[in-house]
Amino acid sequence: MVSLREGPRSYTAQRYDDVLQRWTRTGHDYVLQGFEDQIGVTATYESWDFRWAYVIRYADDFRLSTIERTRLLETSLDAARREHEFYVALYTTNRRWGLLTRPTSAWRVLLVDDHGREVAPVAVDAVTHPGALERTYFPYTTVWRQVYRIRFPRRVPLAGGGEAEILNDRTHFFILRFAGPLGHTDLVWDVAP
């Protein structure tokens, strides 16, 4: 279970791997009795909590000063307040089908809350040449996977008018959904009350 509550954290650089594991999910969709993997996807939700641990690890690795670390943390947490961001690495049987930045992609990506509200990304950015940072901080990044940063809005329009937060501290679970003509897989994060 994860927590969507904001607030200060007291992480050390050594705790990063535990936090990464807590915020990362993996899913697959198979055909032919499990012989062919249509999609294999691993994603990390870059939540408030995750970003805090990431910055502490990054600052330790790069030996940032306290001022530099504080500035980086403020920038990262500000991004978490504006959008929901996921780091995604996926494998598909045909590499072209996994090109999420193209309108002809075989996969549609949605963020779904516990009320069934679905929202499409506001941006899907390919990480075309994952380097040392991606391979170190997201070790499931490999040469066989395509890597993306996918961002969703924090607020969604309601049918009767107005808006609602798609995820908040009262959310029970949320889903990062990959669906298309080849199948679907849901990555589910259960949220602690």
The beta strands (E) that lie in the chain are given as 24-31, 36-45, 83-92, 108-113, 118-119, 123-126, 146-153, 155-157, 163-165, 173-180, 183-190
Per the model's pLDDT, the better-predicted residue between 147 and 168 turns out to be: 147
Amino acid occupying residue 63? R
Identify the H or E element spanning 97. none
Assigned domain for 8 exists: no
Which of 98-107, 121-130, 173-182 is predicted least confidently? 98-107
Phi, psi of 123 (to 5 degrees): -155, 140
Checking if the pLDDT of 35 tops 60, the result is no
Q: Are strands 146-153 and 183-190 parallel, antiparallel or unpaired?
A: unpaired
Query: Which residues face 150 on adjacent strands?
Result: 86, 124
Cα gap 168→24, rounded to integer Å: 18
Assigned domain for 136 exists: yes
Assigned domain for 6 exists: no
Cα gap 102→8, rounded to integer Å: 38
Domains in the chain: how many in total?
A: 1
Assigned domain for 108 exists: yes
Assigned domain for 172 exists: yes
Both tokens of 35, joined, read 């012989």
pTM of the model: 0.93
Instruction: Kindly state the average pLDDT of the residues 156-173.
Output: 89
Both tokens of 13, joined, read 């650089």
Q: What percent of the chain has pLDDT over 90?
A: 77
Domain span at residue 35 reads 13-190
Alpha helices in the chain (DSSP H): 16-22, 48-61, 66-82, 132-137
Assigned domain for 7 exists: no
Contact 58, 137 (CB under 8 A): yes
Grouping H, G, I as helix, E, B as strand and the rest as coil, residue 15 is helix
Assigned domain for 140 exists: yes
Instruction: Kindly state the average pLDDT of the residues 146-162.
Output: 92
Assigned domain for 3 exists: no
Query: For residue 181, what pLDDT is reported?
Result: 87
Q: What percent of the chain has pLDDT over 70?
A: 96
